[in-house]
Amino acid sequence: MPKEPNKALRIVIPLVVVAAAIALVVGIGMTSKGRAPAPSRPTSTAQPTEAPEQEQQASPNESANHTIAAAPERPVDEPVPLQPTATEAQPPASAQSSTAQSGAYAIRVWSGDVPRVVLGSLDPPSGFELEVELTPFGAGVAKVTTTNHYVTARDLVQARRDPSSTHDHYVVQQLAEQPGVAPDGSPITYRMSAMGVTAIVINGQRVELFGGSYGRVWQLESHTATQATWSAEIVDTVADQTIATLRRTYTLEPGSFEIKVAQSIESHTSDALGLVWEQFGALDLPRDTSGYRIPMQRERFGYFRASKPSEIHADGALVRRDSVLKRIQNGIAKGQPVASEWPNSRYDDAGPLVWAAQTNRYFMAAVYPGGLSTSPHELPIGASVTASVLQGDQPKSFEDDRVAHRLSSPVMQLAPGATLAFDVGFYAAPTDERRLQSGADPGAQAARLDKIVVYNMGGFCAFCTFAWLADILMGILRFFDSVTGDWAISIILLVVCVRALLHPIFKRSQIGIQRFGKQMQRIAPKQKKLQEKYKDDPKRLHEEVRKLMREENVSYAGLFGCLPMFLQSPIWIALYAMLYTSFDLRHEPAFYGIFQQLGGWSFFADLSRGDSLITLPQSLWFNMPLMGHITAINVLPILLGVVFFVHQKYLTPPSTGNMTPEQEQTQKIMKVMMVVMFPVFMYNAPAALTLYFVTNSTLGIVEGRWIRAHMDALDLDGTQGADGRKVVTNTAGAKPTLEERLRARLEAKRPPKKP
């Protein structure tokens, strides 16, 4: 007589799997919530600095390597005093009492054009890792472009084949600009430049240093391919003399991602000055537009713990850029002051700040202490960090808004005739922890910027991403990659290791499920009689069924045999987070790039994205619920659905035969959801993760067949155990006592009697 399938358990297993899949998708934040109504742009916690419509620059053909003599330029007119705003924080009373304010301070304004100032090169043979374009606005960074990293894998392939061809290098930082209208109705442009100086507060008076409608305040003293120096002058309009010279020197060495910024203030007065330095830090990085378009732009802080002053701790908040924007704009809409990004209540046991960073899926931009020290120390301009915002044109989306960190120093004392230096570093590079730990960039290593790298999707489900497990899996994959030289093969080897590790548990769970199904099938006639006899007394029926199962040595504990199969769920979640955020897999082809060697085929060209069997024309790109941004036809998710369908045949236990028509219908729906919906969820997942699932399910089919072949030799109706030995029961048929089980175990160990 053919065995009836266990229909009850066919519902349990798919339900748990589907629930886990849905929880995973929701947890990683695939869907985004709406934003609060935004106020009129621009908005900022501190007003963005206004600048002229056109930045003064020389012809792009002018040599970037030409050194400009440090000769002073004639001012446009007399310095104009800039009065402090009422909202600016004043120095403590002690600082004011120890200094003398000799009059109104102003910034000198310069005339003339400034040539295009560029450090480094985009030519790989030059040895530079970056090209850095500087701007007179705040003597800041207008653009940071990577030399050896590209926007797409196709650009990388083209660059390797033909270095002279046109391809898009990846831009880590970009000057933020938004047109606006001044109070008098005239058009202006609001700008934010990375590392640009916004102002200095001298003895309680704020002096603007960014430059804007009143002219250019920073002059270029010198410029080579590796170094550029800017200077600005503070004057006392009452005494008609220069009281201080500000200098900023940018240095970029070949082979380094570190942009060293030497900052100093030289006093030319006999008075002591109390100073507060304000400048922009990192600007937000571009959003990843592939796949699910999961928002991975975050702000991060590294700081000393108050309880452990020698230990740098990276925040675990993983605050998303969208959260910063929403908090700021909600506060402005309600007329409430916007809280600082650092310090605040999110960071427990926080001591001095060491670095402030903004990151996206694969890149980072961070400000950290400069100088020659190899030991971590406090960021000299890290007393507080706020966020400045330029709002875009889309009122219901944060995508075109721009956010910049704005850093302030504590009150610093400048003695008469002295020079005060407070150097910083600016690191704009991939989130590659191996490079950060290698010593290739000593300043970044000393500041422990490697702590920025986390394999975590963030959001409310950050705790369930199992970051510690992702670190272990990353270590295993890197080991396999060092042996094989291919990440796809390394992922397949990881599957083999995980399956081998979980095989004893998986085998035991399969035997337990099959045994329970057969036992329930064996007692089904007796159970049916009890249901007919006590159909009007549910309580008595429950007691009699429990008694029957106890007499027949059947336990519901067999149902829990399916739970060990879900031990792989944490591995899947951790693997998803690791493969989605690990820079190691970005633009890495599968199987030694064999498909790219066949005429530049995009199939498996980038393991961090979908497999892209057929790349669609850009005019056919579209967004799909649950699937994300569709730019190509991916074949691996379809193959995954086929493998899941076959795999079900070897995971489904026999049925008890006691299912209602409604339960049978539910079972069919669960089958469809398991086979169809899960591949839909995975359509835009990294090809590396889909490859893991396909390989895992394929090995699961082989393993399931092998286990079933061994189970056929076992009596699973309750009279034999998993090892084939007879299960001893007492005369009443009840569960054996401890004494009876021990006696049976001793009896089994005795050697058989000789005939």
Q: What pLDDT was estimated at residue 619?
A: 87
Mean pLDDT over the full length of the chain? 78
CB 222 within 8 A of CB 213: no
Q: Is the pLDDT of residue 435 over 80?
A: yes
Question: What's the per-residue H, E or C state across 357-398?
Answer: EEECCCEEEEEEECCCCCCCCCCCCCCEEEEEEECCCCCCCC
By mean pLDDT, which of 377-381, 527-531, 557-561, 609-613 is the weakest? 557-561
Q: What pLDDT was estimated at residue 372?
A: 63
Q: What pLDDT was estimated at residue 714?
A: 58
Report which of 443, 475, 456, 409 is spatially closest to residue 315, judged by C-alpha positions: 456
Q: What pLDDT was estimated at residue 558?
A: 57
| Strand pairing report for 384-390 and 402-408 | antiparallel
Rounded to 5°, the CA angle 622-591-602 comes to 30
Q: What pLDDT was estimated at residue 41?
A: 41
Q: Is the pLDDT of residue 576 over 70?
A: yes
Q: Is the pLDDT of residue 540 over 90?
A: no
Q: What pLDDT was estimated at residue 737?
A: 55
Which tokens belong to 566?
């879900």
Q: What is the pLDDT of residues 563-575, one digit of tens each?
A: 656 677 788 888 8
Percent share of the chain, pLDDT over 90? 39
Tracing tokens 């084949």 back to the chain, one arrives at 161
Which tokens belong to 654?
């026999």
- Cross-strand pairs, 586: none
Q: What pLDDT was estimated at residue 702?
A: 87
Which tokens belong to 337?
């002051």
**According to the per-residue pLDDT averaged within each range, which of 300-314, 554-568, 712-726 is highest?**
300-314
- Asked whether the whole model's pTM tops 0.85, one would answer no
Q: Is the pLDDT of residue 39 over 70?
A: no
Q: What pLDDT was estimated at residue 724?
A: 43
Per-domain residue ranges for the chain?
7-29+468-711, 49-85+105-456
By mean pLDDT, which of 389-393, 620-624, 743-747 is the weakest? 743-747
**Segment 171-187 mean pLDDT:** 88
Which tokens belong to 277?
């330095």
Give the Å distances, CA to CA, from 748 to 551, 742, 751: 24, 10, 8
Q: What is the pLDDT of residues 459-469, one digit of tens each?
A: 666 667 788 88
By mean pLDDT, which of 69-73, 565-569, 646-650, 707-711 is the weakest? 69-73
DSSP state letter for 591: G
User: According to the CATH classification, is domain 49-85+105-456 in 2.70.98.90?
Assistant: yes
Percent share of the chain, pLDDT over 70? 74
Q: What pLDDT was estimated at residue 9?
A: 43
For residue 633, report the phi and psi dihedrals to the nearest 5 degrees.
-90, 120
Q: Is the pLDDT of residue 364 over 90?
A: yes
Confidence of residue 185 (pLDDT cuts 50, 70, 90): confident
By mean pLDDT, which of 87-101, 632-646, 650-664 is the weakest? 87-101
Can you list the positions of beta strands (E) in 584-669?
Answer: 614-615, 622-624, 628-630, 632-633
Q: What is the pLDDT of residues 486-500, one digit of tens each?
A: 999 999 999 999 888
Q: What pLDDT was estimated at residue 744?
A: 66
Provide DSSP, 470-486. HHHHHHHHHHHHHHHS-
Q: What is the pLDDT of residues 251-282, one digit of tens each?
A: 999 999 999 999 999 999 999 999 999 999 99
Q: Which residue has the higher pLDDT, 228 or 617?
A: 228
Q: What are the residue ranges of helices labelled H in 411-486?
A: 433-438, 442-446, 467-484
Q: What pLDDT was estimated at residue 74?
A: 32
**According to the per-residue pLDDT averaged within each range, which of 11-15, 234-238, 370-374 is highest?**
234-238
Q: What pLDDT was estimated at residue 163?
A: 80
3-state secondary structure of 70: coil
Q: Is the pLDDT of residue 8 over 50?
A: no
**Segment 171-184 mean pLDDT:** 89
CB 238 within 8 A of CB 104: yes
Tracing tokens 């990353």 back to the chain, one arrives at 474
CB 145 within 8 A of CB 122: yes
Q: What is the pLDDT of residues 101-156, one digit of tens each?
A: 345 899 999 988 888 999 999 999 999 999 999 999 999 999 999 999 999 888 88
Q: Is the pLDDT of residue 291 over 60?
A: yes
Q: What pLDDT was estimated at residue 748?
A: 63
Find the helix or strand (DSSP H, E) in which 748 lies: helix 738-749
Q: What pLDDT was estimated at residue 42?
A: 42
Q: What pLDDT was estimated at residue 197?
A: 97
Q: What pLDDT was estimated at residue 720?
A: 47
CA 582 to chain centre: 9
Q: Is the pLDDT of residue 245 over 90?
A: yes
Rounded to 5°, the CA angle 54-55-57 comes to 120
Q: What pLDDT was estimated at residue 35?
A: 41
Find the helix or strand (DSSP H, E) in which 300 lies: strand 298-305
Q: What is the pLDDT of residues 78-97, one digit of tens each?
A: 333 333 322 233 333 233 32
